[in-house]
Amino acid sequence: MTKNEQAAKARKRKHAIMITLLIIVFILFILPFILVLINVFKDQADITANPLALIGEHGFTTKNFPEAMRKMDFLNVFKNSLIITTCATILTILVSAMASFVIVRNGKWKACAILFALMIASMVIPFQVLMVPLVSVYGGVFGILNHRWLLILLHTGFSVSMATFMFHGAIHSNIPLELEEAALIDGCSRWQTFWKIVFPLLKPTIATVAIIDAMAFWNDYLLPSLVLTDKELYTIPIATQAFYGTYSTDIGLVMAALLLAMLPILILYLFLQKYIVAGVTSGAVKG
């Protein structure tokens, strides 16, 4: 066997090991989701008898869904999650896109440089460090817990640094200053230049920030559980947890609740996924 053939064989072996490892990791990740999918359409008896069977003895059923929806007050918690996620995501995008535009285009201002440095620094502070003072300040001193808008503002506040960082890179690398100058000469004010020229060109980054933040807000359990204690204001993760605590024996219902909880964000992801890579890598390579 020649040296080249040996090298080719070694390369193939390495490739095979890598593929095997990837398949194992993929199965580990996808298995819980598959279990939810196959068991959600079975009744309690079939799940207990064989949780791995695709269809139970009693056949295919969708009765878990209306039951779960009613018991976890799904429409209400869905509405809460939707309002909070949508508002916080939009607010994060607007605030951070505008902030990064000002920071990038006024690089000589020391205030901008300091502000940006503080934002980057704030990203390394773990949320767990802040949660106790946060609840005691907003709950104890101001007494404004249990409001959706408080959670919206907190979500925005915690996510705006990362979003500003991403928009900063995108504007810095992908929006030529000449475009803004052309707009100024064409008759735009600074405000119009941002909204009519810069903002539409940030579409890939907007999509990336939207999906990353929407997923984080939708799935967040810790912050809503600290801020919202009123059952009427529960978001899906809190409601799912509460539901699981009450109906942990009826696994079919739990599966239905879990699927209902993850479905909306999964759909959003499928719609926006093509922008994610473009947004994350924007500015990495000069176009």
Partner 1 sequence: MASLSLKHIEKVYENGYHAVSDFNLEIEDKEFIIFVGPSGCGKSTTLRMIAGLEDISSGEFLIDGVKMNDVEPKDRDIAMVFQSYALYPHMTVRDNMGFALKLRKVPQEEINKKVDEAAKILNLEKFLDRKPKALSGGQRQRVAMGRAIVRNPKVFLMDEPLSNLDAKLRVQMRTEISKLHEKLGTTIIYVTHDQTEAMTLGTRIVVMKDGIVQQINTPDHLYNKPCNLFVAGFIGSPQMNFMDAVVEVKGSDAFLHIGENTLKVPDDKKSVLIDGGYDGKTVVLGIRPENIKDDPDFLAANADSQIKSTIGVKEQLGAEVFLYFDVNGAQTIARVEPDTPLKTGSDATFALDMKKIHLFDKDTELNLLYQE
Establish how many alpha carbons lie within 13 A of residue 177's alpha carbon, considering only the half-sphere containing its beta carbon: 6
Contact assessment for residue 93 and residue 278, using Cβ atoms and an 8 Å cutoff:
no
The reply on whether position 112 binds partner 1 by CB under 8 A is no
Using CA atoms, how far apart are residues 274 and 174, in angstroms rounded to an integer?
Answer: 18
Structure tokens belonging to residue 149: 């808008």
Cα 141-145-149 angle, rounded to 5 deg: 120
Answer yes or no whether residue 183 interacts with partner 1 by CB under 8 A: yes
Contact range with partner 1 by CB under 8 A, out of 60-68, 175-183, 219-227, 260-268 = 175-183
Measured from the Cβ of residue 4, the count of other Cβ atoms closer than 10 Å reads 8
Min dist. Cβ of residue 123 to partner 1 (A): 30
Tell me if 172 sits within 8 A of 287, measured CB to CB.
Answer: no
Check: CB of residue 174 under 8 Å from CB of residue 201: yes
Binding residue for partner 1, selected from 22, 117, 125, 179, defined by CB under 8 A: 179
Q: What is the nearest approach in angstroms of partner 1 to the Cβ of residue 205?
A: 14
Question: CB within 8 A of 226, min separation 6: which ones?
Answer: 131, 134, 135
- Select from 9, 125, 176, 281 the one that contacts partner 1 (CB under 8 A): 176
108 binds partner 1 (CB under 8 A): yes
Q: Which of 2, 178, 245, 270 binds partner 1 (CB under 8 A)?
A: 178
Which position among 182, 263, 266, 278 is part of the footprint of partner 1 (CB under 8 A)? 182
Is there binding between residue 184 and partner 1 (CB under 8 A)? yes
Write the CB contacts of 158 (distance below 8 Å, at least 6 apart in sequence): 127, 223
- Who's near 93: CB < 8 A, 6+ residues apart? 163, 206, 209, 210, 213
94 versus 188: smaller Cβ distance to partner 1: 188
> Is 95 a residue that touches partner 1 (CB under 8 A)?
no
Site string for partner 1, 24-43 (x = CB under 8 A): --------------------
Check binding of 113 to partner 1 (CB under 8 A): no
Q: Which stretch binds partner 1 (CB under 8 A): 9-17, 37-45, 184-192, 219-227?
A: 184-192
Q: Is 70 helix (H, G, I), strand (E, B) or coil?
A: helix
Q: Does 286 contact partner 1 by CB under 8 A? A: no
Which residues, in sequence order, are CB contacts of 64 under 8 Å at separation 6+?
40, 41, 43, 252, 253, 255, 256
Map tokens 């109906």 to a residue: 247
Check binding of 107 to partner 1 (CB under 8 A).
no
Quote the least distance from Cβ 197 to partner 1, whole Å: 6
Q: What DSSP designation does 54 have?
A: S
Looking at the Cβ atoms of 84 and 183, the one nearer to partner 1 is 183
The token duo for 148 is 């959706």
Q: Which of residues 192-251 bind partner 1 (CB under 8 A)?
A: 192, 197, 200-201, 203
Residue with smaller CB distance to partner 1, 207 or 223: 207
Structure tokens of 29?
A: 């990740």
The residues of the shown chain that bind partner 1, judged by CB under 8 A, are: 108, 176, 178-179, 181-189, 192, 197, 200-201, 203
